[in-house]
Amino acid sequence: MLSRVANNLYWMGRYIERAEHFARYSKQIYFSSLDAPILKTYDRNFVLESMLYMAGIFDMEGMEEKDILFRIGLDTSNTNSIISNITFARENARGARNVISTELWESINKYYHLATSYPQEVYLTTGLYEFNQLILDQTSIVSSKIYGTLLHDGEWAIILLGMHIERALQIIRIINSKLHDIYKIEQTGHPVNEMSFEWTTLLRCVESFDMNRKFYRSIPDREQVLEFLMLNPHCPRSIAYSLNGIRRYEAKISQNESPQSNTISFKIGKLYEQYRYLSFDEYKDDIYGLLNYTQDRITEIGAELEKKYLSF
C-alpha cells in the first residue's frame, strides 16, 4: 500500500471520529442545561464556555451565542469545526477511493452533502439538536460501512488505528472539559455530593450512561465515572479500550515486529499495560496529571506512526 493512500485512510478515520465527538458533546452539554438542578449550570455562558473549552477555544470575549455555535459547527475557516472535519474526512476518502468500498464512499459523500447543505439560519436558531443528531446518525452509518463492507486487512486496520487514536484523545478532552466545569461549579460553593448530575452528563457525552449504570448499579459519582471512562477495558468509550485498539491495529500493520524498546509497538504496549494494571487509588489525587501524560504519549505515538507509515 502506498504511504499516500495509508495517510488518507488514517486521517479519514481520525476526522470522522473527531466530528462525532464534537457533535455529541455540543448537543449533550447545550441541552442538558435545561434539566440542570444546579443554578450555575443553567447559566448560558457557562454552557458556551464548556463547548468552547472542548473545541480548544479559550477566549469568548466579544462573541455572542450565535457566533460561538457557528464557530463550533459550521465555520469553514475554523479547521476544528464539525463541518471542517467532515470536509477533511471526505477529501481523504476521495484520496483513497480505489481501496475503499463503493458503499463506504457513498455514505461519506452523502454525509458531507447533508452536513454542508444544512441551512445556517436554521442551525443558529432551532436546528442545533437536529444538526448534531444528523452528524451522529451519519457517523454511525459510515462506521457500519467500515466494519461491514471492507476487507479486514491492512487498509481497514489503518482506518481503525486512526479512529482509536482520535477517540482516546477526544475522550481525554471531554473528561478534562467536564472536570473543568465541575471545578467552576465547586468554586461557587456547591458541595461535591450535589454533582451526580454533572457526572451523569459526562457519561451521556460519551454514550456510556446506561452501561455505567448496568456495571455499578448506583448513582454516578466521581470515582466510578472516572474509573469507568479511563480504566474499564470493556467500555468502548474508555481510554483503556482505545489503547487496546491502538495496540491491536498497529500490530496488524507492523505484522508483530519484534517490540524493541525504541519501536512504536513497544511504546504502545507499555502505555496499554500501564492502564491495564492501574487502579483508581493510584491516580485519584492527580487525574489531570494522568490525563495529560496519556495525551502526550498518544500524541507522540501518533507522530511516530505518521513518520514511519504515512510519510510520502
Please check the confidence at residue 290 and state whether its pLDDT lies above 80.
yes
Q: What is the pLDDT of residue 256?
A: 60
CA 42, CA 47: separation in Å to the nearest integer?
8
Instruction: Calculate the CA dihedral of residues 127, 132, 137, 142 and round it to 10 degrees.
Output: 130
Q: Mean of the pLDDT values across residues 1-9?
A: 90
Cα 25 from Cα 35, distance rounded (Å): 16
Q: State the average pLDDT over residues 104-124.
A: 97
Q: Which residue has the higher pLDDT, 187 or 122?
A: 122
Q: Is the pLDDT of residue 273 over 80?
A: yes
Q: What is the pLDDT of residues 186-199, one digit of tens each?
A: 888 777 666 888 89
| Mean pLDDT (whole number) for 295-312 | 92
Over the stretch 164-185, which tens digit does the pLDDT of each residue have? 999 999 999 999 999 998 888 8
What does the pLDDT look like over 27-72, one tens digit per residue?
999 998 777 776 666 677 888 889 988 888 877 777 889 999 999 9
Mean pLDDT, the chain, rounded, equals 92
Average pLDDT over residues 234-263: 88
Residue 259's pLDDT band (cuts 50, 70, 90): low
Greatest CA span in the chain, whole angstroms? 58
Q: 242 pLDDT exceeds 90? A: yes
Q: Which of 55, 32, 45 is nearest to 205 (CA)?
A: 32
Q: What is the pLDDT of residues 196-228, one digit of tens each?
A: 888 999 999 999 999 999 999 999 999 999 999
What is the band of 239 on the pLDDT scale with cuts at 50, 70, 90? very high
Average of per-residue pLDDT across 115-138: 96
pLDDT number for residue 188: 80
Q: Which residue has the higher pLDDT, 185 or 140?
A: 140
Task: Map grid coordinates 478532552 to a residue.
Answer: 173
Contact 12, 160 (CB under 8 A): no
The pTM of this model reads: 0.94
Which among 117, 185, 107, 169 is positioned nearest to 139, based on CA atoms? 107
| Burial group, residue 225, by CB count within 10 angstroms (0-12, 13-18, 19+) | buried
Residue 222: all three cell numbers together: 466521581
Contacts of 259 (CB under 8 A, 6+ apart): 265, 266, 269
